[in-house]
Structure 1
Amino acid sequence: MAFNEDSRVKIPAGLDLVRLGYIYILLKGLKFKSLQSFAIFIGLTLLTFVQGCKSDVSELKFGSLSTNQDLHFWYEGDQDNEYLDLLRSKYPIDSLVRTSTTDTERAQRVMNWVHNQWRHDGNNEPRQGDAVSILEEVKEGKNFRCVEYAVVASACLNAVGLKTRTLGLKTKEVETKKSGAGHVVSEVFLNDLDKWVFIDPQWDVMPVLNNRPLNAVEFQQAITNDFDRLEIHSSNASKSKYVNWIAPYLFYFDIPFDNREGVNSQRETVHGKSKLMLVPHGAKEPTVFQRRYKINNVIYTNSIHDFYASPYQN
């Protein structure tokens, strides 16, 4: 490549702006007869771009009634937890939320802090999978996967009194794709809104519609039915880029039954299974992840009621 203004300034600047979600339109060599024709060209280009940002996905259908009376979830309680005390003593978790006035603000501040602790590395796993151990390795310069972002964010939010769980997302082709069939985020229960809310600490994203944060299923529905009004609250991710990236993962959803924090506690199960998987009506119940790994630790449900039960009703 020639060393000139294009290679030194224009191309690097353009790439950075595109990564941030801005639109790059090449005008070099184009001639317009009038300002009106130029405006029409820009308008049609932007319209084509916006239409392309709406991911080609359909709204998923689920049941609303409870289908399994045996389900039970365990969440972090209000009693003292030595592990969370250790987490708070090592890291400024309490100070992050001290001046927050809403649970939404608390969740966003914690998520943003976790997001900024390391850079994403989809191939690196920690020596131990708990939040304190992960953060200690981060001090050594390590970077980790989406899983670790969710684990750390969930622990930190539990430490400030917001019941939180990790949420596994899987694509429709989870059984046949060789890679890239899953993503892990968190869902936090906001007491002042009395609802579960999706957060993605890897991307520092909280989806919002009509000033109300959304859970994962509501997020999927908003993408398909209310894209124009959907907002992506984030410090750096653009709406178009994130929605196009996340939409395929919003098909299968799974959560642990036992969401308590600590490394020594015995994890509870339901009928010997550790997770609940929400499956859309008419979809296959997957039994294999990425062709190789058996999915044999879940109870399947089509019920939104079961999946989004209040953590206070257990």
Structure 2
Amino acid sequence: MRRLLPFLASFLLLSLTLRAQQAPSTAAFDAYCTVFFKEIQGLSAAKDYRQILSRYPEWEMKYNALGPSDKQLFRSALASVDYNRACYYALLKDKPNALLSFRHAVAHGYQNYSHAKVDSDLDLIRNDKDFQQQMALIREHGDFIYVLQQARSYASNEGRPLPTFTYQSAEEPHLVALRKTHKLDSIAGQGNEVSRFINLLHWVHEQVPHDGNHENPAVRNAQDLLRVCRAEKRGLNCRGLATILNEAYLAMGYKARFVGCMPKDSTDYDSHVINAVYSTTQQKWLWMDPTNDAYVMNEQGQLLSIEEVRARLIDGRPLLVNPTANWNHKVSKTKEDYLYQYMAKNLYKLQCPVSSQYDLETRTGSKNLQYVTLLPAAVGTTKPAVRHTQDGPTSFTLYNTSNAAAFWQKP
């Protein structure tokens, strides 16, 4: 049924992650869950809700037997079990237990506000005061457009000093080699500037699959990442894919950055990295996402920047995603799940390296890596202007700003 789909999709992704880990208890519970929830799905299709409710205590008993770290790992599954239990009780007209189960789901971290808002299975309790109070709690953490709207403004007149963003010349020898080795001129084609950007986006998406469950190789430049992935038949996480596309753009003489897109919740480690490439014909940065082969447009089909997409999410103006957007040719990306859910969550904070260059993040010698983070004004004013950290021989200088114009300055 409809309420099961968001959980089953997220559980399958969690399951793929867990299989890369070694803990026996984790793997055993993961395997158990795969079988259990397939059974529940069948019972739900048969509308045997009482049988499902009788089966949940077994799952909870096995969950409660896990160690603390495994419990945390499967906490979202616990929240989804509570949510689905609320649905089944509501369908059986058991209002007290439906409300109690929904309260437990919220306490255990259920966050899918947009789904709960329209799920007809919960209509029995929708007008109840307790349900509405719980929905208000979910909204603060799971209605990501609402969260953006609450912190919409930047501080355009903020005067904290920032370093100047720099972009490596296409004449740099490694970039020249990248361009020649992979025949980037032919890949980009002879069309207009935007078509060349898109062709290079498609090329990176086709070269390496996305794999968010493993670390990228230690050497992090386009040439080596492509070579290792082909030799080992492996993928890269979103940062690795954005690194390849960024260096391909630089090699072609385009000014580009990779952009870390992060949520408000500092305990949520699910972030994303995409690219911004500067269009001289349109005089703005354009959104390019090699993980999902995606770019974003307005209702006239004009390509948009990250800044414009964020503003349109906040204001409710139309957004379009290219129809070919996909994840590993397995899942199509629609504006509903890609923009209004996933990216709305991850457009709260944005971060770019100060220097856009070949092999930037390979840890060699005593590098000093510099990054600028763009924060909403309400948050940015509470953060220090500059922070220095150390990780082994690598030092980091982290600048915070709420000045969007400075962050998105023209190259």
TM-score, L = length of structure 1: 0.71
Distance 1:67 1:198, change over 3 A: farther
8 Å CA contact 1:65–1:305 kept in 2: the answer is no
Q: Map of 1:173-192 to 2, 5 A cutoff? A: 173-174=265-266, 176-177=267-268, 179-180=269-270, 182-192=271-281
Match of 2:324 in 1: 235
Match of 1:164 in 2: 256
SS in 1 for 2:322: strand
Q: Map of 1:1-314 to 2, 5 A cutoff? A: 55-59=145-149, 60-65=152-157, 67-77=159-169, 80-101=171-192, 103-124=193-214, 125-140=216-231, 141-174=233-266, 176-177=267-268, 179-180=269-270, 182-209=271-298, 210-227=300-317, 229-236=318-325, 237-243=333-339, 244-262=341-359, 274-283=370-379, 297-311=397-411
SS in 2 for 1:77: coil
Per the TM alignment, residue 234 of structure 1 is displaced from its structure 2 partner at its CA by: 4.8
Match of 1:38 in 2: none
8 Å CA contact 2:353–2:369 kept in 1: the answer is no
SS in 1 for 2:202: helix
User: Aligned equivalents of 2:206 and 2:369: distance in 1?
Assistant: 34
8 Å CA contact 1:151–1:166 kept in 2: the answer is yes
User: Aligned equivalents of 1:54 and 1:107: distance in 2?
Assistant: 29
User: Aligned equivalents of 2:358 and 2:218: distance in 1?
Assistant: 18
The aligned amino acid for 1:208 is: M
Taking only aligned residues, the RMSD between alpha carbons, in angstroms, comes to 3.5
Distance 1:234 1:128, change over 3 A: farther
SS in 1 for 2:212: coil
The aligned amino acid for 1:246 is: M
Distance 1:307 1:94, change over 3 A: same
1:89-132 deviations in Å (ceiling 9; x for gaps): 2213110222212x221111111111111221112211311111
Distance 1:55 1:301, change over 3 A: closer
Structure ranking higher in helix proportion: 2
Per the TM alignment, residue 88 of structure 1 is displaced from its structure 2 partner at its CA by: 1.7
8 Å CA contact 1:67–1:306 kept in 2: the answer is no
Distance 1:296 1:126, change over 3 A: closer
8 Å CA contact 1:57–1:224 kept in 2: the answer is no
8 Å CA contact 1:130–1:151 kept in 2: the answer is yes
1:174-207 deviations in Å (ceiling 9; x for gaps): 2x23x31x21111110111111112111011111
Which protein, 1 or 2, shows the higher relative CO under an 8 Å CA cutoff with sep ≥ 6? 1
Larger Rg: 2
Distance 1:74 1:54, change over 3 A: closer
The aligned amino acid for 1:110 is: L
**Identical aligned pairs, as a percentage?**
21
Per the TM alignment, residue 143 of structure 1 is displaced from its structure 2 partner at its CA by: 0.7
SS in 2 for 1:188: strand
SS in 1 for 2:290: coil
1:152-186 deviations in Å (ceiling 9; x for gaps): 00011111221111111111012x23x31x21111
User: Aligned equivalents of 1:54 and 1:251: distance in 2?
Assistant: 9
Per the TM alignment, residue 66 of structure 1 is displaced from its structure 2 partner at its CA by: 6.0
8 Å CA contact 1:66–1:306 kept in 2: the answer is no
The aligned amino acid for 2:377 is: H
Gaps of 5+ in 1: 1-14, 16-26, 30-47, 288-292
Distance 1:296 1:139, change over 3 A: closer
SS in 1 for 2:217: coil
- Tell me which moved more, 214-223 or 148-157: 214-223
Per the TM alignment, residue 277 of structure 1 is displaced from its structure 2 partner at its CA by: 0.8
TM-score, L = length of structure 2: 0.55
SS in 1 for 2:276: strand
Distance 1:68 1:212, change over 3 A: farther
Gaps of 5+ in 2: 1-8, 10-44, 48-117, 120-141, 326-332, 385-389
